[in-house]
Chains A and B, each alone.
Chain A
Amino acid sequence: MSTPFRVAGHGRVDRSATLAFTFDGTAYTGHPGDTLASALLANGVHRVATGITYGRPRGIVAAGVEEPNALVQIEAPFPEPMLTATTVELYDGLVARGLGGRGRLAATPDPARYDAKHLHAELLVVGAGPAGLAAALTAAGTGARVVLLDSAPECGGSLLGTREHIDGRPAQEWVDAATRRLTAAPNVTLLTRTTAFGHYDDHLVLALEKRTDHLGAAAPRHLARQRVWRIRARQVVHATGATERPVAFDDNDRPGIMLASAARTYLHRYGVLVGRRATVFTTNDSAYDAALDLADAGVEVAAVVDARPTVPERLSRACAERGIPVHAGHVVTGTSGVDRVSRVHIAERDGRGARRHGVDCDVLLVSGGWNPAVALFSQARGTLRHDAGLATFVPGGPLAAVRTAGAADGLRTLGACLADGIAAATAALTALDIAVAPVPVPAADTELPHPALELWRVPSPRDGVDGAAQFVDLQRDALVSDVFRATGAGLRSVEHVKRYTTVGTAHDQGRTSGILASGIVAEALGTDVADLGTTSFRPPVQPVAFAAFAGRDRGDLFDPVRVTALHAWHQEHGALFEDIGQWKRPWYYPLPGETMDDAVRRECRAARTGVAMMDGSTLGKISVQGPDAGCFLDRLYTNVMSTLKPGRIRYGVLCGVDGMVLDDGTVLRVSDGEFLLTTTTGNAAKVLEWMEEWLQTEWPELRVHLTSVTEHWATIPLVGPRSRDVLAAVTDGLDVTADAFPFMSRRDTVIAGVEARVCRISFSGELAYEVNVPSWYATSVWQALYDAGRPLGITPYGTETMHVLRAEKAYPIIGQDTDGTVTPQDLGMSWVVSRKKKDFVGRRSFGRAENLRADRKQLVALLPVDGHTLLPEGAQIIATETIPAPPVPMLGHVTSSYRSAALERTFALALLRSGSERVGETLYVPLDGRTVAVTVAEPVLYDKEGARRDG
């Protein structure tokens, strides 16, 4: 296979090796060091994609991340959409195809690993072009930690695509020496293939390193394919270079129309000629370098069209020497061609298309000037100013810890960029009080170019709507006429025009189109682009795959899985688990062949008629100690805690200042100066933080200490009429009779050789105990209880059974039966609200008019009349059997719903408007297009008298 456009004597690709790849179904070859774009161009392929809206053929425009056109889909080795052909490093076996603006996600999980890593440095230098390398070399000598990163596989930046000299030698020699020095320096981290994509608060710069993409199918599986570096630097230098921008003219989107600098880069970096016969259209000096270099490499340059009235003498002479015609004061007015540009139409700029003539060519190289790459600097809140001489926006000056250097600073000569890099690093380190030895500036070209002409577009010479064939944003297929329509509709801000036209919203973030759009808006409005400004620059400046953002937080590591000390036992005994926050809790323990309903019915029956046990270790536990502990708890709980006697337990409710229930739990008085309170599983951290907030900010005078002991203690509820027998069997000498060990009291004992705190607490209404032991001993104590209970049929149960048992007793679950709008009174728990205490958090809110309304939503039970329909939680409640026309008056909703073994029916808890007044009424719950009749009942459905708690 021949690659007809590869030229000898140029380029940095490794021609000793050949890589095979396939594009749009055709097999090609390239070399290591190629991008997909350079390899395609070497094979003479320009047309690589299709415009998203108009379906026009599109070619390769640029040689780097600014590429607006050449989006490709990788098909093999793993599908990946929406990559630019100019940034995909070629590898053997690559299969890709061009896109019309929309990619396709892989249907299978990505097998590659992705990760993230933190990095700290005194100085971060973004960009390893001449200015960045000079900056890093300056800092490397100080011993300070320096990070230098660059998107390319090797250092050099623009020097890789030009043929400039430093210190009288080819610049590449200086680049190689600098790279060697930086690689060897222990204080320097040099990251290639790494693109900074966002500059965030406090100088956190995120950068994406593509670590094994270029290896294709040969990438080692254990290495992260891509890594997000989280770089926290004390000083940052953005040596991000500049991006050439095009000029808009009629039919400026044909394949073969490229940025002039890109053609030069393809020649010098990849040894590729982008065509045989070129026309160059420019507004500034830089495109002449491309014209001259291409001519010297054998390309016939048919014409240089310079919009400026006069051409610098040095450049016109160089063109004349090579026989290149130069048309000063001319512009390109349009192009012809089918799948590729074949003819360029030029005319005098001031002649409105007069004296038009055509120039035949197969590539048109365009330069409308250079935009410093200021996106990252701008994200760091750096300001921009318009520079008339450069016809673009440049940084307005350094920030305290963020600077720009080189072409990013608006500098246009190599000598100035090198000096600026040294100066920026010196200033940055000096700001950190790090001494910097003076560094000599390498000798390089410092001859300033002639001023550029600010030209955004060439008016259409055709009849019809002006700009209707002039593309501003090639990827979005947004036209100059679209911009005019936006301004015609009254839009004045470039931000609004951006949203209206979508200019600058594609993968390239408007690198080549954004400022062009500003200029055209300015033209349309008759204002100065300097006053109009640019759209803001947002991260990520380059697309980043979601997989890279996810990193290793996938699969089992997506969210921490918290388990109790008994988790292994639950697994061994067949438990299915329910996620409660980050906790895995046993949900139910099905026996072989059992459905969930079967298992839950069996577990409920055991708890109500025999003995059952569960893992309650996830309950939050807070030790409250100090002489003022009782006073502190009195101020927080709605009831009185300070009167508790040591060894006694009280249920309590916490409300916010708004009087709404925040959490509930039990409070055990361990001793005069120590309480142990429990919180709901999901609220453990929140309640501790909330209590600390009151203690630290409102009542710092109280002598109270709060310490979380949630995971120190394992908690095992032992439940059911036979639970006393089991406890008696495992303890030696503990008097378990109801009189000696009354409800809501604590006894210390020894179980399985372990000191245990046993509390008589019930969340089911049955006789029940909570056995607390340090969590190291949970399994052996659990096993001892289980073994002792086996003769009585002891049954482990999970959260589902717990919910059924508590709901039968109308014990609310905070966060399920409440939602932050529910008071204790709404829950029918006025008894837990002290009338004696002068104040506690939330008390005053109970007297607010809103909270005294008779039609508040209150907790009730709902009994489906048919006895067996299971109402969905969240179902709405209405008053009529038929659903009225919208808006349907809603009376409330179902908060909990279960099948009850004890009641031999389904039932639900609900928050119902004026609920307590509606007891006995029949209401309706819409369900699957019909309504279910329900009877409203007092919430407590089982053992209303509380006769069962003593067994």
Chain B
Amino acid sequence: MTADSSLRPVRTSPLAGWDPALPPGLSAREVPFRTQLTLRAAPGGAVARAVAEYLGHPLPGPCTAHLDTEVEVLWLGPDEWLLVAAPDRAAELTAGLRAAIGDAFGSVTDTSAQRTVLALAGDLLPDVLAHGCALDLGPAGAPAGTCHTTLLAQAGVTLVVREAGPRQAWLFVRSSFAGYLAAWLADACVEYGAG
């Protein structure tokens, strides 16, 4: 956003003010305003290579994410990735990526406000997730860097395991579902002595 610089636009994230009562063993917060770009490119093709070169690391394969870099990359589908970076970098990264892609067939779409991110951590996390996620997220099957787009309760999420267990995970959720998911998580925690 390079809007009128004299007027700093006011923005509100889907879970602004969310401060749930959580039990010991779980922390949760919204990570708002991440730059999120949807990249579409043929896997292993020229565009994917050009993007990898631009980012400085390869695009991750199925059900994994490339984490802990300036631009983190989540695998969403065989020709679809979500690029995640600090706030307010959409214009600059989009321009850079489009320049790298050139005339080849690939697309970059700003979807920053399409989803928000919930950062969850703690010993209780495996239990809380198991109340609504059918996937086996045990450490053997889901090491750090695991990335699944699936259902958590009745909401579609992209779940990124940042520390195996999972002891730390990010949930990418459609903005309109964020309130439902936040309420569901808080309710799941009642069992463990929240509030």
Binding site for B on A (CB under 8 A): 113, 115-120, 145, 222-224, 230, 232, 552-553, 556-557, 559-565, 583, 618, 623, 625-627, 703, 705, 707-713, 732, 750, 752-755, 774-780
Contact = CB atoms under 8 A, between A and B. Distances in A.
Interface string B116-156: 00000000000100110111101000000000000001110
A553 B184 CA distance: 9
Contacts of B135: 118
Given A557-B153, A705-B107, A712-B113, A753 B191 contact: no
A912 to B, nearest CB: 37
21 contacts: A118-B130, A222-B193, A552-B153, A560-B154, A562-B174, A565-B14, A583-B176, A618-B176, A625-B107, A626-B105, A703-B105, A705-B40, A705-B106, A707-B40, A709-B114, A712-B111, A712-B114, A753-B7, A774-B1, A775-B175, A780-B11
Given A711-B175, A754-B9, A118 B109 contact: no
Given A113-B191, A222-B193, A560-B180, A711 B174 contact: yes
A709 B111 contact: yes
Given A118-B134, A119-B130, A775-B14, 20 more contacts: A117-B131, A232-B136, A553-B154, A556-B183, A560-B155, A562-B177, A565-B12, A565-B14, A618-B176, A626-B105, A705-B106, A710-B114, A712-B110, A712-B112, A750-B4, A752-B9, A755-B1, A755-B3, A774-B1, A775-B113
B72 interface: no
Specify which of A117, A145, A560, A778 lies most central, judged by the most chain B CB atoms within 10 Å of its CB. A560
A904 to B, nearest CB: 38
B191 A777 contact: no
B191 A223 contact: yes
Contact of A565 (B155, B175, B193): B175
Contacts of A703: 105
A754 B187 contact: no
A564 B176 contact: yes
Q: Which of B13, B106, B176 has the most CB of A within 10 A?
A: B176
Contacts of B33: 776
Nearest to A558: B154
Contacts of A754: 1, 3, 9
Contacts of B155: 560
B168 interface: no
A712 B112 CA distance: 7
Contacts of A623: 107, 109
A contact face: mostly helix, strand, loop, or mixed:
mixed
Contacts of A118: 130-131, 133-135
Contacts of A753: 3-4, 6-10
A617 to B, nearest CB: 9
Contacts of A232: 134, 136
Contacts of A145: 138
A186 B159 CA distance: 26
A212 to B, nearest CB: 11
A83 to B, nearest CB: 24
Given A552-B184, A710-B114, A753-B3, A116 B109 contact: no
Contacts of B38: 707
A145 B136 CA distance: 12
Contacts of B106: 705
Contact of B190 (A113, A618, A775): A113
Contacts of B191: 113, 115, 222-224
B188 interface: yes
A780 B154 contact: no
A224 B40 CA distance: 44
Contacts of B114: 708-712
Nearest to B36: A712
B184 A562 contact: no
B9 A777 contact: yes
A623 to B, nearest CB: 5
Contact of A780 (B10, B109, B113): B10
Interface of B: 1-4, 6-14, 33, 38, 40, 79, 105-107, 109-115, 127, 130-131, 133-136, 138, 153-155, 174-177, 179-180, 183-184, 187-188, 190-191, 193
Nearest to A223: B191
A275 B135 CA distance: 53
Contacts of A708: 111, 114
A625 B58 CA distance: 23
Contacts of A777: 9-11
A668 to B, nearest CB: 14
Given A625-B109, A780-B9, A711 B180 contact: no
Contacts of A564: 176
B172 to A, nearest CB: 12
Contacts of A119: 130
A469 to B, nearest CB: 51
Contacts of A776: 11-13, 33, 112-113
Contacts of B136: 120, 232
A893 B159 CA distance: 47
Contacts of B183: 556-557
A552 B187 contact: yes
Contacts of A583: 176
A776 B16 CA distance: 10
A825 B107 CA distance: 36
Contacts of A557: 153, 180, 183-184, 187
Given A113-B190, A703-B105, A752 B138 contact: no
A213 to B, nearest CB: 16
Contacts of B109: 623, 625, 707, 709
Contacts of A711: 113-115, 174-176
Contacts of B111: 707-709, 712
Lowest 3 A-B CB distances belong to which pairs? A753-B7, A776-B11, A753-B9
Contacts of A780: 9-12
A626 B9 CA distance: 32
B157 to A, nearest CB: 12
A626 B110 contact: no
A626 B107 contact: yes
A145 B105 CA distance: 47
Contacts of B176: 562-564, 583, 618, 711
B177 to A, nearest CB: 6
B130 A774 contact: no
Nearest to A583: B176
A710 B174 CA distance: 9
Contact of A120 (B9, B10, B105, B138): B138
B174 A779 contact: no
A230 B134 CA distance: 8
Contacts of A223: 191
Contacts of A627: 105
A704 to B, nearest CB: 9
Given A222-B191, A232-B134, A707-B107, A560 B177 contact: yes
A947 to B, nearest CB: 36
Nearest to A676: B109
B154 A559 contact: yes
A774 B155 CA distance: 22
Contacts of B79: 705
A778 B175 CA distance: 13
Nearest to B109: A707
Contacts of B1: 754-755, 774
Nearest to B178: A563
Nearest to A553: B154
B11 to A, nearest CB: 4
A774 B10 CA distance: 12
A684 B113 CA distance: 17
A557 B191 CA distance: 16
A459 B180 CA distance: 64
Contacts of B184: 552, 557
Given A117-B131, A710-B114, A779 B188 contact: no
A561 B9 contact: no
A707 B80 CA distance: 9
A559 B176 CA distance: 13
